Amino acid sequence: MSSPGREVVGVDTRQKIEVLGRSAQYDLCGQACGTEASRVRDDLDRWIYPALLPDGKRINLLKILLTNACENDCHYCANRASRNFRRISFTPEELAYTFDQMHRKGLVRGLFLSSGVCNAARTMDRMIATVELVRRRYAFPGYVHLKILPGATFAHVERAVQLANRVSVNLEAPNPERLARIAPPKDFTAHLLQPLRWASRLIAEGQGQRASVSQTTQFVVGAAGETDRELLSTTARLYREVALARVYFSAFQPIVDTPLEDHPPTLPLREHRLYQSDFILRRYGFTFEDLVFDDSGNLPSEADPKLTWAQAHPECFPVEVNRASREELLRIPGIGPTSASRILKLRRQGRFCQLSDLRKVGAVAKRAAPFILLNGKQPPFQLSLW
C-alpha cells in the first residue's frame, strides 16, 4: 500500500480513468448524474455518466478528477489527506488527449472536471490548462463543467467562466459554523462564497464566451448536524444573491477510515424532501418563509413540502380552479407549472367541472381535490399524504 499523499508512478491511462473516475462520483453535476449506481461503464472500463444538461438535453459525460491527492482533511471525504490509499494524477496534456479520444469515438459528449487540492492555485492552473487544451488544441465546442476549488483566485474564476459552460463551487455546509465541523481548513466566506460571488458577477457581465454559462453548488447533507432550515435558508439566499442555476443535495454516506465512518448515513428521503423544497422555491414562487419545518428545524418527512404548506394554511383554501390566478393555482397540491398553464388556457374555452377535467391537463387530481372548488363545488376526495 502506498503512503498517504504519495503519488504512484507508472500508472497507465486506463487505470487513471478507473481510479479518478471512481473518485469523482461524489460530485453531482445534474439530474441523473450522480453516484456509482448511475454510471455507464463502457467496454474499456471508463467512467461515463449520463447527465441532463441545463437545456434539457441528455448526454454522456466523462466525470473525472485531475488528481485524487489532496492536502485538505475534510471529515467526510474519500480523498482526504489522512487516508492511506493510492494517489494518482493526470497531466493536463494526458487528460485533454484522453478526453479527445473518447469524444472522437463517440463515447462522451461532455466533460466534468474536478480535483483534489494540492495547492489550490497550482491545481486550478492545471485544471484550467486542461480545459484550454480541450478547447484550443482539440477544438471541442461542447459541454464542460469545471469545478472551482476552495481558495481559487479571481483570475481563476474569470478564466473558468470564459472556458466552461457551467462552473461550480461546493459549499458542502450551509454556514461557517457547520463547515468548521466537517472541513476545518476551509473558510466558508473567503474560500467558497467569494468565488461564487465572483462567478455570479462575471456571468452577469457576460464574461462567459458561451451564451449560457451558469453556476451551481452542492451540500453534503447530514454530515455537520445541520438542519433542513439552515440548508434551505442558505439555498434561498444563494438563489437571490448569486443567481445559482441549481443547488444539489448529496445525502451523506460514511466512508471507512474517515472521522465520520461511524456517523449514520443520511436517509434518501431527507435528500428527496430537500429537492422538493428547492423545486418549489425555483419553480412555484414559494419563498423560504413559506416552508414549514418541524420543531427540530427539519422538513416533515411524512408529506411533501407543498402539501405541508397547504395543510398549514387552511385559510387559503379551497381555491376555485375556474377563477384562480396562476400564483394561486401553483399553491394547490397536485398542480404544477405545466398543468397551471394548461388550466389558464383551456378555461377560456369552458369551465372545469370534474376531477377528470383536471386529469386531462396533467394535474394530480386526487391530490388537488381537498383544496379546490370546481365550478363552486368541492369534488369528492379521500385524504392522502402522498
Residues that bind ligand SF4 (CB under 6 A): 70, 72, 74, 77, 79-80, 116-117, 183
Which is nearer to ligand SF4, 218 or 277 (by Cβ)?
Answer: 218
Where in 54-149 does DSSP place strands (E)?
58-65, 110-114, 143-147
CB of 73 to ligand SF4, least distance (A): 6
Cis, bond preceding 318 (omega within 30 deg of 0): yes
CB of 115 to ligand SF4, least distance (A): 7
Which is nearer to ligand SF4, 249 or 371 (by Cβ)?
Answer: 249
Which is nearer to ligand SF4, 70 or 310 (by Cβ)?
Answer: 70
Which is nearer to ligand SF4, 172 or 271 (by Cβ)?
Answer: 172
Q: Report DSSP state, residue 101.
A: H
Which is nearer to ligand SF4, 71 or 100 (by Cβ)?
Answer: 71
Question: What is the spatial distance between Cα 287 and Cα 78, in angstroms, rounded to a whole number?
Answer: 35
CB of 224 to ligand SF4, least distance (A): 13
Residue that the C-alpha cell 459552460 belongs to: 165
Question: What is the spatial distance between Cα 192 and Cα 171, in angstroms, rounded to a whole number?
Answer: 6
Tell me if 5 sits within 8 A of 87, measured CB to CB: yes
Which is nearer to ligand SF4, 82 or 375 (by Cβ)?
Answer: 82
CB of 168 to ligand SF4, least distance (A): 13
CB of 69 to ligand SF4, least distance (A): 9
Residues in the chain, overall count: 386
Amino acid at 295: D
Tell me if 219 sits within 8 A of 231, measured CB to CB: yes
Q: Pick from 95, 97, 117, 113: which is nearest to 24 by CA?
A: 113
Q: Is 314 helix (H, G, I), strand (E, B) or coil?
A: helix
Calculate the dihedral angle through the C-alpha atoms of 94, 100, 104, 106, rounding to the nearest 10 degrees.
100
Which is nearer to ligand SF4, 48 or 70 (by Cβ)?
Answer: 70
Residue 132: all three cell numbers together: 484550454
CB of 114 to ligand SF4, least distance (A): 8
Which is nearer to ligand SF4, 220 or 343 (by Cβ)?
Answer: 220
Tell me if 239 sits within 8 A of 284, measured CB to CB: no
| Ordered DSSP codes for 337-367 | HHHHHHHHHHTTTS---SHHHHHHTT--HHH
Residue that the C-alpha cell 441528455 belongs to: 58
CB of 94 to ligand SF4, least distance (A): 20
Question: What are residue 320's DSSP bridge partners?
Answer: 373
CB of 385 to ligand SF4, least distance (A): 37
